Amino acid sequence: MLDLLLPPQCLTCDAPVADQGGLCAACFSATNFLNGPACVCCATPFSYPGEGGAGRICPHCAEAPPPWRQARAALRYDEAARRLILPLKHADRTELAASLATMMTRAGAGLLEEADVLVPVPLHPSRLRARGYNQSALLARSIGRRSDVPVISDALVRLHPTRLLSDLTEVEREAEVKGVFAVRRGRRALLADRRVLLIDDVLTSGATSAACARVLLAAGARSVDVLVAARVPDPRQR
Ligand SMILES: [Zn+2]
Ligand SMILES: [Zn+2]
């Protein structure tokens, strides 16, 4: 009945589609799913199979391993991915979280199998009030429902508001997020010896994920993996 009144539309354009929450053929073919070879550590897509050697690690991770164990991303962060992610972050299109969560559940199946709990990257309370929701928490809850992995939405807190990291260099990003995250008092017991899967929308330099992983590990988590909707292919080459 609802479909008769509101025929399902493509998530990212006006084209009619068969099912609510789907992409039309044109938008689907423009979407770059990261299901090819990639660095197991940071999810940077490789340009040819066999790149990264037997360990499938990119040179960046080989030289300076991040504090988390493995990362997976559903999409390459490009124009098509931005059409799915930016409206979720800035235009109240919260229904996009469900579709992105489906893609992330598929891309992160291996990590989800090993995860004890899902923890989203938090927003600062001032930004949470302005936006009304934390997009990473919406993704985590939606992935939790699909995978039956419990979610601790408020395990982490962001102590200070941060500038938009996209305008900063890699070194500036690390400085900007230093000391910004903490494990919420009263949540430490839930994290002790748990394998945590950190959920975020976009992985760029990894500075945010690294800062979150460090406080989770310091609080007693056994390991931290990272699952994101989209990966900026190589932020150092932009
Ligand atoms: Zn479309
Ligand atoms: Zn890597």
Q: Does residue 39 register a pLDDT over 90?
A: yes
Locate tokens 């900063």: which residue? 168
Question: Tell me: the pLDDT tens digits for 95-136?
Answer: 999 999 999 999 999 999 999 999 999 999 999 999 999 999
Distance 155 CA to ligand 2 centre (A): 26
Whole-number Å distance between alpha carbons of 131 and 144: 22
Q: Does residue 235 register a pLDDT over 70?
A: no
Question: Tell me: the pLDDT tens digits for 183-202?
Answer: 999 999 999 999 999 999 99
Return the ligand number nearest the Cα of 24: 1
**Cα diameter, the chain:** 57
- Looking at residue 68, its pLDDT comes to 98
Residue 102 CB neighbours (<10 A)? 16
> Using CB atoms within 10 A of its CB, is residue 55 exposed (0-12), middle (13-18) or buried (19+)?
exposed
Give me the percent of the chain exceeding a pLDDT of 90: 78
> Tokens in use for 29?
């073919």
Distance 124 CA to ligand 2 centre (A): 28
Distance 60 CA to ligand 2 centre (A): 6
Residue 227 CB neighbours (<10 A)? 28
Distance 17 CA to ligand 1 centre (A): 8
